Amino acid sequence: MSDDRFPGWHGTTILAVRRGGRVVVAGDGQVSVGQTVMKGTARKVRRLSPGGRDVVVGFAGSTADAFTLLERLEKKLESAPGQLQRACVELAKDWRTDKYLRNLEAMLIVTDGAQVYVVTGAGDVLEPEHDVAAIGSGGNYALAAARGLMDSDLDAEAVARRAMRIAADICVYTNGNLTVETIGG
């Protein structure tokens, strides 16, 4: 995400961990422009309830773009109740082919507690391996930490919190101010 239209925004680590019938999505609160922290308490993990069914979404990238995608995802979920994969695929297709949407700079982690998907503007709808997914500036750090912690006796939330703390210690665009949502089991 480094072209002339994208002014050097960094920040965000979003992590999803599935364990023991539960999925925990954690996101840090830092928003940076260049080397300046603009906000430390952003809420990048949201709970949607289209049709009364809970879905948790974490987003990385431009906030306005992510909110546009969240609105579209909510509409897709309303038109395909209980079909998270279908809604995510339809969103990814629109995102890739629509002239307006294809310029949006964001990524999403979406879960209904049973399924977890990473959705991108390249048309990807990916199910993570090893019950862990991560996106954003510190995503690779959080992913590696969480995968290493999956061999422990920690529950999903403890794995997510510890992995996010590790990512925040390594990535300057990630802080320890977490929003954590749990769904399932």
The 3-class secondary structure across 86-144, one letter per residue, is HHHHHHHHHHHHCCCHHHCCEEEEEECCCCEEEEECCCCEECCCCCEEEEECCHHHHHH
pLDDT for position 10: 54
Per-residue pLDDT of 66-96, as tens digits, reads: 899 999 999 999 999 889 999 999 999 999 8
Interval 167-179: pLDDT, tens: 999 999 999 999 9
Which of the listed ranges 24-38, 51-65, 149-163 does the model predict with the highest average pLDDT?
A: 149-163
Q: Catalytic site residue 12?
A: yes
Least Cα distance to 59 among 50, 51, 68 occurs for 68
Say yes or no to pLDDT of 9 above 50.
no
Q: Does the pLDDT at position 31 exceed 90?
A: no
Catalytic residue among 12, 13, 111, 174: 12
- Does the pLDDT of residue 3 top 80, yes or no? no
Phi-psi region of 109 (alpha: psi -120 to 50; beta: other; left: phi over 0): beta
